[in-house]
Amino acid sequence: MDLLNTLVDKGLRRESPTREEALAVLATSDDEVLDVVAAAGKVRRAWFGRRVKLNYLVNLKSGLCPEDCSYCSQRLGSKSEILKYTWLKPEQAAAAAGAGVAGGAKRVCLVASGRGPTDRDVDRVSRTIAAIKEEHQDVEICACLGLLSDGQAERLKDAGANAYNHNLNTSEATYGDITTTHTYADRVSTVQQAQAAGMSACSGLIAGMGESDEDLVDVVFSLRDLDPDSVPVNFLIPIEGTPLAGDWNLTPQRCLRILAMVRFVCPDVEVRLAGGREIHLRTLQPLALNLANSIFLGDYLTTEGQAGKDDLAMIADAGFEVEGTDTTTLPKHRADALAAAGSGCGGHGGEGGGCGPCGDAAPADAVPAQAAAGATVSAPAATEGSHADLVSVRRRGAGTDLPPNA
């Protein structure tokens, strides 16, 4: 296919495709999906070989967020039966992070619900970073705390944070349909503050919220303009109790086309297969490793993921290898640029969804009784066209007394 040959050539030159070419990738048929994956896989392997970077989420503070992001189970007014707890102590967070590192994670993402951190919160997270680094000196730390205020990015970097995550999520044109308590421009500003402070920027999207192909291309081209080092691609997890609970708009083939389009537009960037991969890609997850060079290991913020051992087996069976801490994730030109900016994170040398909370939470409730009992709370049985039976609320790991999934 001439389109795919053109896109491969452009990707190897780090040249941006046109919007029309990106749209054409999304418009390919299911019969052409393997061709699309093979083409985008050439670009992925040229820049990242067959390495897969593992990332691990630690939810430092869960639930009762004042923001109204429609996709989020921690949102204002959420009816989702998720874990709710206030800040983990540094030693608790370090223990949770240790489970991910033991499972092979190279990066730990520290996430807290809320609009954005107070200065006291930044101090708290700084202590947590110190506790983790004391036990795992080489691990990368990515903070994801919502909208940043002046000077907070610099303080987090000085505390040892290598990266900061804040996702754009969707196109600027449709952002107001998803969230009303902050703006798309607020999100862009936070990513830019992280970059200005010398941290590696991590920013991505959520697909499956009813957006058009044009919206998907818009947000990915906006991300290219922002130039983050990491782009997490999340697929909406329609959690019961959220406004988007009934939105099952994705097929495995569409997810692969979306990932391929992101790879063509952002050829030399760490593309991360993030939330929702298990329920939307399902048995086609291994094919996605030909497009993304990074995944989350184990569970997500409020939902359960695939068993960590199954993630590792999938990577090996698909012919890929887990990236070690002695390997630089990013291509040399990006790693050098990041080092020159003062990050020292070789990828980044040593990063929602992404990680991505939607946005100060009120003091949280105690952990629900069912968490202590180890019960798994699943969504109601699937209706036609949905896979709600695959969505399970997280009841283990951070914020509970149960072992984490890593």
- Tell me which of 69, 266, 355, 358 is the catalytic residue: 69
Residue located via tokens 């050098």 = 336
Cα–Cα distance measured from residue 103 to residue 313, given in angstroms and rounded to the nearest whole number: 12
Residue located via tokens 């998803």 = 178
Beta carbons of 361 and 21 less than 8 angstroms apart? no
- Tell me which of 44, 65, 124, 394 is the catalytic residue: 65
**Pick from 246, 292, 252, 301: which is nearest to 271 by CA?**
292
Cα–Cα distance measured from residue 94 to residue 79, given in angstroms and rounded to the nearest whole number: 30
Cα–Cα distance measured from residue 21 to residue 398, given in angstroms and rounded to the nearest whole number: 43
- Tell me which of 109, 144, 266, 355 is the catalytic residue: 109
Is 72 among the residues known to form the active site?
Answer: yes
Return the amino acid letter for 84.
K
- Tell me which of 107, 263, 272, 396 is the catalytic residue: 272
Is 255 among the residues known to form the active site?
Answer: no
Q: CB neighbours (10 Å) of residue 128?
A: 28
- Tell me which of 72, 144, 266, 355 is the catalytic residue: 72
Beta carbons of 274 and 252 less than 8 angstroms apart? no
Q: Is the peptide bond before 182 cis (omega within 30 degrees of 0)?
A: no
Residues in the chain: 406
Is 358 among the residues known to form the active site?
Answer: no
Is 127 among the residues known to form the active site?
Answer: no
Contacts made by residues 327-335, CB under 8 angstroms, sequence distance 24+: 327/51, 329/48, 329/51, 329/53, 329/106, 329/270, 329/293, 329/294, 330/229, 330/268, 330/270, 331/47, 331/48, 331/268, 333/268, 334/229, 334/268, 334/269
At residue 348, what are phi and psi to the nearest 5 degrees? -140, 45
- Tell me which of 44, 115, 124, 142 is the catalytic residue: 142
**Pick from 69, 60, 37: which is nearest to 292 by CA?**
37
| Radius of gyration, alpha carbons of the chain | 19
Give DSSP secondary structure letters for 45-97: HHHHTTEEEEEEEEEEEBS--SS--TT-TTSTT-------B-PPPHHHHHHHH
- Tell me which of 75, 124, 187, 202 is the catalytic residue: 202
Is 202 among the residues known to form the active site?
Answer: yes
Beta carbons of 342 and 198 less than 8 angstroms apart? yes
Is 272 among the residues known to form the active site?
Answer: yes
Catalogue the active-site residues: 65, 69, 72, 109, 142, 202, 272
